[in-house]
A and B are shown apart, each in its own frame.
Chain A
Amino acid sequence: MDELDLTLPPELESALIDFYTGPEPDRAFTSRLDLELQQRYEIISQAPRKRKDSFMQALRARPALAILLVVLALLLVSGVAYAIGRLTGFIPGFGFTTGDVYVLDMPIEASENGITARVENAVQDEIRLWVELSVRHPSEGDHQSQAYILLPTGEKIQSQRGGVIIPDTGEQRLTFIFPALGDPSQLVTLILENSDGQTVQMKLNLRSAQSDEVLPILPGNKLPVQGEFSAGMALVLENVAMSADQTVLQVSLHFDKPGISLAGPWDIVMTDDANRIYPLTSRLIRWISV
Chain B
Amino acid sequence: MSDFTALDDPALVEQARHNPEAFAILYRRYLTPIYGYLQRRVENVHVAEDLTGQTFMEALDGLKHNRYRESGTFRAWLFTIARRRLVDFYRERPFVELIDPPSSEPSLLATLEMNDDLSRLTHILKKLDPEKQELLRLRFTANLSFAEIAMLEGKTEAAVKMAIYRILDFLRQAWEAENG
A191 CB to nearest chain B CB (Å)? 79
A12 pairs with B141, CB closer than 8 A: no
Q: Which residues of B contact A30 (CB under 8 A)?
A: 31
Contacts of A9 in B (CB 8 A): 172, 175-176
The size of the chain B interface, using a CB distance under 8 A, is 53
Distance between Cα atoms of A87 and B45 in the complex (Å): 65
Whether B40 lies near A22 (C-beta < 8 A) is: yes
CA–CA, A8 and B171, complex, Å: 9
**Is B120 among interface residues, defined by CB-CB distance under 8 A?**
yes
Q: Can you name the residue of chain B whose Cβ is closest to the Cβ of A11?
A: B117
Beta-carbon contact of B171 and A19 below 8 Å: no
A25, B161: Cα distance in complex, Å? 29
Q: How far is the CA of A144 from the CA of B157 in the complex (A)?
A: 91
CA distance A22 to B144 in the complex (A): 13
Instruction: Tell yes or no: A183 within 8 A of B by CB.
Output: no
Chain A 25-52 interface residues, beta-carbon cutoff 8 Å to B:
25-26, 29-30, 33-34, 36-38, 40-42, 44-45
B145 adjacent to A15 (CB under 8 Å): no
Residues of the A chain whose Cβ atoms lie less than 8 Å from the Cβ of B157: 1
A17 and B20 alpha carbons, distance in the complex (Å): 33
With a cutoff of 8 Å between Cβ atoms, the chain A residues found around residue B147 in the complex are 1-2
Where chain B touches its partner, the secondary structure class is helix
Closest Cβ of chain B: how far from A66's Cβ, in Å? Answer: 27
Task: Given A2-B147, A21-B141, decide whether A14 and B117 contact each other with a Cβ distance below 8 A.
Answer: yes
With A9-B172, A22-B33, A29-B49 as contacts: A16 and B164 at CB distance below 8 Å: no
Instruction: State how many angstroms separate the Cβ of B116 from the closest Cβ of chain A.
Output: 9
Contact B172 A8 (CB under 8 A): yes
User: How far does the alpha carbon of A109 sit from the alpha carbon of B9 in the complex, in Å?
Assistant: 90
A41:B60 contact, CB within 8 angstroms: yes
Cβ-based interface call for B32 (8 A)? yes
The answer, among A6, A14, A22, A42, for a CB contact under 8 Å with B36, is: A22
Q: Which residues of B contact A37 (CB under 8 A)?
A: 23-24, 27, 56-57, 60
Minimum CB–CB distance for B139 against chain A, Å: 8
B118 contacts the other chain (CB 8 A): yes
Provide the bound-state CA to CA distance between A2 and B176, in Å.
25
**For the complex, is A142 an interface residue (Cβ under 8 Å from B)?**
no
A19 and B60 within 8 A (CB): no
Flag if A17 contacts B140 (CB, 8 Å): yes
Which residues on B sit within 8 Å (CB–CB) of A23? 35-36, 39, 105, 108
- Let me know if B57 and A8 touch, CB within 8 A: no
Ordered by A's residue number, 6 sampled pairs between the chains whose C-beta atoms are within 8 Å are: A4-B161, A9-B172, A12-B117, A15-B118, A22-B37, A25-B48
Contacts A1-B146, A16-B121, A41-B60 known; list 12 others, CB within 8 Å: A12-B117, A15-B115, A18-B115, A22-B37, A22-B40, A23-B108, A29-B49, A33-B56, A36-B53, A41-B20, A44-B60, A45-B20
* Interface of A toward B, CB cutoff 8 Å: 1-2, 4-6, 8-9, 11-12, 14-26, 29-30, 33-34, 36-38, 40-42, 44-45
